[in-house]
Amino acid sequence: MKKRRLVIRTLILVVLGVAVAYSLYANLTKDNKQKVAVGDTAPDFALVDMQGNKHRLSEYRGQGVFLNFWGTWCPPCKKEMPYINNQYLQYKDKGVQVLSVDIQEPELAVNQFAERLGLDFPIMIDTEKEVMNVYGIDLLPATFLVDKNGKVVKYYTGELTENKVKDFMEQIKP
């Protein structure tokens, strides 16, 4: 009888130990990034561009915003930048703005990259990855389409073609 009780107590302790270990593991390894979902209001942020101008997302209400996260070291980012620039020039007077956010790179590298590619849209650097973390970005390039009401209408990761950039800008044109 004592042996049976000892076995049952041991099993209960083992089950409890496994449950506690799993809970600790799950809580310590979970992804704390909150992904911004389609239909959500785009989280507001303010960053300064390469010319020293401050851009606050909420100040673009009434316009569509093509919000692109990228890095100079990223080959797909480099390839899509001229497409984004071409379409920016076509859509900037039609109520669509581009906000381009480089992730944590030196200003010199970003300036050289922008000059080499002849980019005309505002480029900001997220030096502390704050905006990246708020938006839950894992992979670059990442693009959010924000409509005139500040709502996210699309989230896309991966390289963009010129036709896709044009299609995206059409989707957020007011």
* pTM more than 0.75: yes
Q: What is the pLDDT along the chain (174 residues), one digit of tens a residue?
A: 778 888 788 888 877 777 666 666 665 555 544 589 999 999 999 999 999 999 999 999 999 999 999 999 999 999 999 999 999 999 999 999 999 999 999 999 999 999 999 999 999 999 999 999 999 998 999 999 999 999 999 999 999 999 999 999 999 999
Sheet holding 152-157, edge to edge: 123-126, 96-103, 64-70, 142-146, 152-157
Q: What integer pLDDT is reported at residue 25 of this predicted model?
A: 66
| DSSP letters for 1-45 | -HHHHHHHHHHHHHHHHHHHHHHHHHHHHS----PPPTTSBPPP-
For the chain, count helices (H), then strands (E): 5, 7
Report phi then psi at 135, rounded to 5.
-85, -10
